[in-house]
Every structure is written in C-alpha cells, then in structure tokens.
Amino acid sequence: MSWIRTALCLSTVCFAGSVCLPLQAGDSIQFNRDIRPILSDSCFQCHGPDEAKRQGGLRLDQAEAALRGGESGPAIVPGDPLASEIRKRILSTDPDLKMPPAASGKTISPEQLATLDQWIREGAEYQGHWAFLPIRRPDVPDQTGGLSPIDAFLRQRQQQAGLMPAPEASRETLTLYGRDGI
Ligand code: HEC
C-alpha cells in the first residue's frame, strides 16, 4: 500500500520546502494563506493594483474596492457567496461574462471556488500583505517525541490532513545526506 501513500503525498505536499496540504473541513480561511494566491494568480492581472490594466472598474486586491465592486455593483457580499458577483462570473456559461476570460488562459478549479465560497461565507475578511503585518510568535503545537518547533507545526498539519510522516530513513541514508556531521 505504500505507493498509495506516496501518491497521496505527492499530490498534496509540494516540494521546495513549501507545504500545501489541502484545507480540512473546520479549518477557517485566511486571506493571505488561502485567498490571495488564487486571486493573485487568476484575477489581479485585470483587477489588481495596476490602474492602467484594470478592467470593468473592478479592483479585487483591497476590501473596500471589492465590496464596492465595479460597473455592475458589489463583487463580494460578505456572508453570501450566492449573491456575490465574482461567484456568478466564475460559474457563468456565457463566454462574454465568464471570469477569468478564456483568452487569459487562467482557470478557477472547483477546489479554489469552494475555498472562495468558504471565505465569503465566513465574512470575506481581507488581510494586509503579510510583509507589512507585525511579526507574531505563534504557539508551538503540543506534540510528543521531542520534535523541533518546525517539525511540530508540520506534524500538526499532517495530522489535520490525515497524513502520516514517512518512516525515519535508515542510518546509512541519513549519514549519506550529512546528518551526524559527516
Ligand atoms: C485578462 C483579464 C481578466 C482577468 C484575468 C479577470 N477578469 Fe474579470 N473582467 C475583465 C473584463 C474585461 C471585465 C469587464 C467586462 C465584463 O464585465 O465582463 C471584467 C469584469 C469582471 C466583473 C464584473 C465587474 C463589474 O462590476 O462590472 C467581475 C465580478 C469580475 N470580472 C471578476 C473576476 C474574477 C473573480 C477574476 C479571477 C477569478 C477575474 N475577473 C479575472 C477581465 C478580466
């Protein structure tokens, strides 16, 4: 069965050190972690900070502007995904209305739409760009086994996603990769 676990890990955990486990039911949405990457990738090109490229009078990177909306009114109605224009546009079957436009080569996956829906349902709260937020020391999750704080955070997220860590590598492998100071 280990190939199943391997496939699962490959599809849910990105390499290059960044963990992108799927959201779990019960996890609340954070704008910077969950929403900004979606909007930034698929919408900001035409609804972002660059005024010269802005389309439909709509800006989606700032709360006030998104709530005000564009030429056809509020783009986001906090608490009510079904009333939100961005959802109607993403799901539209009319190629003239569909967002993002097909010609942009961008798409919104059903998972991304579900994440946007949950964010709107929870009140569509924006966060400032993380680089400008004050640094805060999070509480290290309580984990057994004398884990380092970083491993404790990783283990907690794996558990939330129902994943198990891979078994510890053999001593030879660890030595080969420089543990034990070699
Ligand atoms: C390549 C450019 C482009 C991208 C990318 C794009 N849009 Fe648009 N969008 C437009 C254009 C052009 C209009 C104005 C024409 C129209 O209303 O269809 C528009 C209009 C809209 C409107 C209606 C604004 C109003 O009040 O009239 C909404 C809502 C919208 N887009 C949402 C989105 C969302 C959400 C995304 C990302 C998932 C997105 N768009 C990505 C070009 C784009």
Identity of the amino acid at 102? A
Contact between 26 and 118 (Cβ < 8 Å): no
Write the residue with the smallest CA distance to atom 6 of ligand 1. 100
For residue 151 the two structure tokens come to 């491993």
- The answer on pLDDT for 8 being more than 70 is no
Distance 108 CA to ligand 1 centre (A): 13
> In terms of pLDDT, which residue wins out, 44 or 25?
44
Distance 55 CA to ligand 1 centre (A): 6
The two counts, helices (H) then strands (E), for the chain are 8, 0
What per-residue confidence (pLDDT) applies to 126? 96
Average pLDDT over residues 25-49: 92
Where exactly are the structural domains of the chain?
31-131
What per-residue confidence (pLDDT) applies to 48? 96
Ligand 1 mutation pick, 39, 44, 47, 116, max ligand atoms within 8 A of CB:
47
Q: What is the pLDDT of residues 116-148, one digit of tens each?
A: 999 999 999 999 888 888 888 888 988 777 788
Residue 61, exposed/middle/buried by CB under 10 A (0-12, 13-18, 19+)?
middle
Q: What is the mean pLDDT of the chain?
A: 84
What per-residue confidence (pLDDT) applies to 12? 40
The pair phi, psi for residue 77, each rounded to 5°, is -115, 100
Distance 88 CA to ligand 1 centre (A): 11
Write the residue with the smallest CA distance to atom 32 of ligand 1. 86
What is the model's pTM?
0.74
For residue 110 the two structure tokens come to 């059903």
